[in-house]
Amino acid sequence: MIKATKVRIYPTPDQAEFLNRQFGAVRFAYNKALHIISSQYKRHGTKLKAKALQQACINLDKAFQSFFDPKLPARYPKFKRKHGKQSSYHCTSVSCGDDWIKIPKMGPIKARIHRQLEGNLTSITLSRTVTGEYYASLLHDDGVAAPVLIHDLDANQVLGLDMGLTHLAIDSSGNKTPNPRFLKKVSANLRRKQKSLFRCQKGSKGRAKARLKLAKAHQRLANARADFQHKLSRMIVDENQAVIVETLKVKNMLKNKKLSRHIADAGWSGLIQKLEYKAKEQGKHLIKIDRWFASSKTCSCCGHKLEALSLNVRDWQCPSCSTQHNRDINAALNIRAQGILKLKAAGLSVSANGGKRKTSHALAAA
């Protein structure tokens, strides 16, 4: 399998100056190619190939391919900002050790290698965050074949997940994970730092310091959300053989002005993305069901479908079988049932004779 490990690096002042010049050159190549292709597209409506240039322009070419692909909702490429995140790609003459990495034309850079790297190192992508921190993403081939997907599944280890706002994730076993609401907790601090930045004069040293403080606050917020999602997704994948989720169109949901802030804070797409690659790494399944499936207003017992169900109704009784439902748990059960049908349609075996599963908490206690 091809795996990537992101590590923190600590370049010396001279090395940092070299990297910043390199980031600037990469940004210039990308922006220049974008200017040329944009002019051609606006004047003649045609697309130019950018593969003759180096990696920055290869990335630009991929961005244009996504833009011209009707199946992908990609936006038109934008110019890279000097004060935004910077990166550069290196695939030749790269190496790493216990506490260093090496790229062409530069001596070893101090690094914190927090996990053992197995296999052959194929490339290193260096990056600099808005807060001035440097990172290196090490791509290596471990030489081990990717795990074969599990063919015979235990129905007791197939989990349906419904995403929400009050509770971030509700599973078909009735467990509810509260929404941490990271943005809400730090909104007052972000607002205060944003106002401080707005009051500073453009181009002043005070504005540069205020912008750095605001960027660090946003970075702490993003790190806290990512850490929570990594831990939650790891627990879910370790305890199940298949995870069933809805296909969410978050971009359309963000058009709701009343809920857009809360939806963005929940980070559903990030959680599903982490579930997907963690499941693939272990040979397990992540199934996405049709986004038009009415999971909330369909009875999980008899299949009766309500004509309408308001968002503020959290509990309802089925008029056909009189079963009392919790909206979210009922949706998770329906998502699980649809996922099992999809697994069986793919030729997989889903048996209900596996008995009750043991969670990782129980195993740890034992």
The residues that bridge with 100 in the sheet, in sequence order, are 110
Q: Which residues contact 27 (CB under 8 A, 6 or more apart)?
A: 56, 80, 82, 86
| Residues designated as active site | 162, 246, 328
Q: Which two tokens stand for residue 313?
A: 């109704």
Q: Which two tokens stand for residue 150?
A: 């599990």
SS3 call for 183: helix
**Contact in structure between 23 and 148 (CB atoms under 8 Å):** no
Q: Is 357 exposed, middle or buried (0-12, 13-18, 19+ CB in 10 A)?
A: middle
**Contact in structure between 310 and 254 (CB atoms under 8 Å):** no
- Which residue in the block uniquely carries the two structure tokens 């790190």? 223
Element (H, E) at 350: strand 349-351
The residues that bridge with 174 in the sheet, in sequence order, are none
Distance, in Å, from the CA atom of 130 to the CA atom of 224, rounded to the nearest integer, reads 17
Distance, in Å, from the CA atom of 114 to the CA atom of 132, rounded to the nearest integer, reads 20
Distance, in Å, from the CA atom of 266 to the CA atom of 165, rounded to the nearest integer, reads 7
Distance, in Å, from the CA atom of 36 to the CA atom of 91, rounded to the nearest integer, reads 26
The set of long-range contacts for 21-27, using a CB threshold of 8 Å and a minimum separation of 24, is 22/88, 22/126, 23/86, 23/87, 23/88, 23/128, 24/82, 24/86, 26/55, 26/56, 26/86, 26/87, 26/88, 27/56, 27/80, 27/82, 27/86
Cα dist. 219→30, 124, 129 in Å? Answer: 25, 23, 9
